[in-house]
Structure 1
Amino acid sequence: MLRLLFVGDSMTIGSAGEHTWRYRMWQHLRTAYDGPFQIVGPRTALHDKALDAPVSYEYADPAFPQQHLAGWGEGWLHMAPVIEETVRESRAGLLLISLGLIDLGFYTDAEQTARNMRTFIGNARAANPRVAAAILPVIPNVRARHDPDFAAEVARFNELLAKAVADLDSDRSPLLLVSPPPSYDLDLDTYDGTHPNASGEHRLAATFADALHQAWDLGGPYEAAY
């Protein structure tokens, strides 16, 4: 059975009232993946903005597997120390990862963020030597739009991420660099320049789904209308 773990920051955990791109991906796999699969992870909540804490269960549609490893304000720095235990306990076989923006925005430069990413992969493999991971670079965001220095740091990290994925990829534990969503528009696909709205959720799910299908023949192309 495919055991899938979502790993991410605020764009992945989502906030009260949202579907989340996790939901969109689950909907896709229900029809496109021809084998059994399970969504796994130690967390299930959404972020409650009023309380600034992950305590909400007000999903737009709660009827889906809500497990994940995502957190508002968390990045590679925060996930590297916990991924080994998470993979071991959940027996995750495939990680869908969207991290990096928080690191670069608040904690680490591009070089240190890339080192933390490498540590994360090593720790995940310590729990499951055959774990696979599909990793999304830092995608367009409002800060990069208005801050050229930050945009340069994002570009630098994405270069280092691509190199790390190429260096660490193996037949036993394959890594896949996911392309940013095509035609991702901050004004149309986010509600604040960073966090996805409904169309943004679909675009994030689609870019993972299409990458998995094209690279690993897992599932099929994303077909939901958005």
Structure 2
Amino acid sequence: MLRFMPVGDSMTIGSAGDHTWRYRLWRHLCTSHGGPFTFVGPRETLYDKQDDAPTSLAYAEPAFPCAHLAGWGEGWLHMVPLIGDAVRAHRPDVLLVSLGLIDLGFYTNAEQTADNVRAFVAAAREADPRIRMVLLPVIPNIRAAADPSFAEQVDRFNVLLAKAVADLDEPRSPLLSASPPEAYDIDTDTYDGTHPNAHGEHRIAGAFAGAMWEAWGVGRPYAAGTDRPGSGVPGHPAHG
């Protein structure tokens, strides 16, 4: 069984009532992956905005393997000390990582964040020398749109992230740099300029799916509209 661990920040954990891109990717793989698979990780909850804590299990569609390693307000800086134990305990084959915005916004500059990427990769490989990883760059967000200096940091980090992937990729533990979600638009793909709505969830899921299909032959190219259990018919992204 192929075991995926989503690792990320608020865009990955999601909040109460969300489907999450994790669900969208799971539905896609249900209709496209030829063998058994699951999602694993030490956490299962969504973030509850009323509690200001990750206490909710109110997924829009709860019947999926919702395990993950993601946290509201957590970045590379926070995941470095957690990833080794998470890999050892939950034995993922593939890490699906979407991090960086929180780091750049509050904690570290582009170079320091890139150093934490390398530390994360080293810690994951220490736990499992054959682990595979797909790393998503920081995607468009409202702060970058409004703050040119922050946008420069995002662009700089994304260059350094691609360099880290190229430097650290190796046959026994391959790294992939996923392409940014195609045509991602903060006005139509987010509900607040940062966090994905249903359209954005599909686009992020598609970025991970596309990378794995193109590099490893896992699944097939992403088609939205596979959210309804039992549905394998490509269609239009659901709203809500």
- The TM-score range, normalised by the shorter chain, is over 0.9
Taking only aligned residues, the RMSD between alpha carbons, in angstroms, comes to 0.6
Distance 1:51 1:211 in 2: 36
Q: How many residues align?
A: 226
Matches within 5 A, 1:198-209: 198-209=198-209
Give the drift of 1:74: 0.2
Deviation at 1:113, TM superposition (A): 0.3
The residue number in structure 2 matching 1:145 is: 145
* Separation of aligned partners in 1, 2:97 and 2:32: 20
Residue matched to 1:130: 130
Q: Give % identity.
A: 65
Per-residue deviation at 1:36? 1.1
Pairing 1:32–2:24 present: no
User: How far, CA to CA, are the matches of 1:49 and 1:58 in structure 2?
Assistant: 12
CA distance in 2, matches of 1:66, 1:22: 8
- Within 5 Å, give how 1:11-160 maps onto structure 2: 11-160=11-160
For 1:149, the aligned partner's letter is: S
Q: Which runs of 4+ in 1 moved over 4 A?
A: none
**Which residue of the partner structure matches residue 212 of structure 2?**
212
Q: Measure, in 1, the Cα distance between the counterparts of 2:163 and 2:11.
A: 24
- SS of equivalent to 1:95: strand
Mapped to 2, the partners of 1:114 and 1:25 lie a distance apart of 26
DSSP 3-state at the match of 1:189 = coil
In the alignment, what sits opposite 1:184?
Answer: 184
- Structure 1, residues 16-38: CA drift from partner, whole Å, max 9, x if none? 01000000000011111001112
For 1:132 and 1:35, the matched residues in 2 are separated by: 17
Give SS of 2:67's match.
coil
Q: Deviations over 1:36-56 (max 9, x none)?
A: 112100000000011110001
The C-alpha deviation readout for 1:162-220, integer Å capped at 9, x for no partner, is 00000000000000000001110100000000000000000000111111101111111
| Most deviating of 216-225 and 123-132 | 216-225
**How far is 1:78 from its partner?**
0.2
Q: Residue type of the partner of 1:33? A: H
Shift of 1:88: 0.4
SS in 2 for 1:4: strand
- TM-score (norm. length: structure 1): 0.99
Is the partner of 2:188 in helix, strand or coil? helix
Letter in 2 for 1:115: D
> Secondary structure of the equivalent of 1:186?
coil
Aligned to 1:5: 5
Q: Secondary structure at the match of 1:117?
A: helix
1:114 to partner: Cα distance: 0.3
Query: 1:10 offset after TM fit, Å?
Result: 0.1
**Per-residue deviation, 1:106:** 0.3
Provide the rounded CA distance (Å) in 2 between the counterparts of 1:103 and 1:77.
7
State the partner residue of 2:233: none
Unaligned 5+ segments in structure 1 are none
Distance 2:33 2:206 in 1: 14
Q: TM-score, normalised by structure 2?
A: 0.93
Mapped partners of 2:56, 2:91: distance in 1: 26
